[in-house]
Copies of this chain bind each other. A is one copy, B any other.
Amino acid sequence: MSAIARTTLLLAALLPVLAFAQEPAKKPYRSAKEIIDAAPASAWRDLDPANTLYMQLPAGRVVIELAPGFAPQHVANIKALAEGGFWDGTSIYRSQDNFVVQFGDADADDPAKAKQFPANAKDKLSAEFTRKSDGVAFDQLPDKDGWAPQIGFTDGFPVARDPKTNTMWMTHCYGIVGAGRNNAPDSSTGAELYVVIGQAPRALDRNLTLVGRVVKGMELLSAIPRGPDPMGFYEKPEQRTPIVSIKLASDVPETERTPLQLLRTDTQAFRDATEARRNRVDDFYQIAAGHIDLCNVPLPTRDPAAKEHAGK
């Protein structure tokens, strides 16, 4: 081997070291799961039992977090309906593929058979499609969105915001719970509710009052057999899924509550986990998307006892 060759080899061997010395130290990639598992206790929040619904189905419990900040009137009415046992014995009477399941009183439109509201529940509310955004905390995503000028999270819910009109609204992502209505914008009461089970139908944003989000038990709703086209309303009452009861968590003894924490969306752990999903680097991924859609951002939950997150 000539001296020149040896010098070249020596230089080549030194080059990576030099390059490394000049680059800022790069953090190794951590997966979203690793980031979430390492999140401090302060990054997690407990569900507020006074704003949590337990929907008991024969197959198990669905847990819904209510959004009083977005729909104060509807949420108040939903609480009155739950406390009055309105939904006990009603059903999931609609399941439309790639769209929604809907539940409540299947006979609501028939005055002769419709279930009575509890005395303190109202049968008329204002529409709550949007709210003022001034002064409302908003954990904004940097990602583009076709439906709205800005997207992000408020109180842990996926939301969109329009600074020009000073408004914000919850978005129709998977698992979001909305109040069904007739053509009149103020015709929803919260008694008939739907849950998104397919590709986010965001054309409905700002056209309906959204009241909360399923935080546990989505698989009990999303896998319910579909009703017939085009709307998914079952033809026969026996095809409906019975609702044993819907109660406020605060009305259930503490020992019977579902222990559940949610990762706060205003934390570094949440931002880091979202970035890890936006730009995945692992043995499987060949190309990182460099982007994430609002409705693709998982909102991790965990059982505080198990200290295990259920986020994907």
Contacts and interface: CB of A to CB of B under 8 A. Distances in A.
A285 interface: yes
Contacts of A292: 146, 203
Contact of A218 (B97, B129, B219, B280): B97
A147 B207 contact: no
A132 interface: no
Interface stretch (A14-22, A224-232, A258-266): A224-232
Interface string A128-149: 0100000000000001111100
Given A207-B284, A291-B146, A225 B226 contact: no
A293 interface: yes
Contact of A185 (B147, B280, B286): B286
Contacts of A114: none
A98 interface: yes
Contacts of A105: none
Interface residues of A, number: 49
Given A284-B183, A312-B99, A201 B144 contact: no
Nearest to A277: B203
A205 interface: yes
Given A206-B287, A226-B223, A283-B183, A201 B146 contact: no
Contact of A230 (B174, B223, B312): B312
A286 B223 contact: no
A52 interface: no
A85 B97 CA distance: 30
Interface in A239-294: 277, 280, 283-289, 291-293
A147 to B, nearest CB: 5
A296 B202 contact: yes
Contact of A225 (B147, B223, B288, B293): B223
Interface in A37-92: none
Residue with the highest number of chain B CB atoms closer than 10 Å, among A145, A147, A288: A147
Residue with the highest number of chain B CB atoms closer than 10 Å, among A95, A185, A199, A277: A199
A211 interface: no
A195 interface: no
B183 A147 contact: no
Given A199-B295, A203-B289, A146 B147 contact: no
15 contacts: A97-B223, A129-B287, A146-B146, A146-B292, A147-B289, A174-B199, A183-B284, A198-B222, A199-B199, A199-B296, A203-B280, A206-B287, A207-B287, A222-B226, A230-B312
Interface of A: 95, 97-99, 129, 143-147, 173-175, 183, 185, 198-203, 205-207, 218-219, 222-226, 229-230, 277, 280, 283-289, 291-293, 295-296, 310, 312
Given A173-B199, A207-B286, 14 more contacts: A95-B223, A97-B223, A147-B289, A185-B286, A199-B295, A201-B296, A202-B293, A202-B296, A203-B285, A219-B226, A222-B222, A222-B226, A223-B223, A230-B312
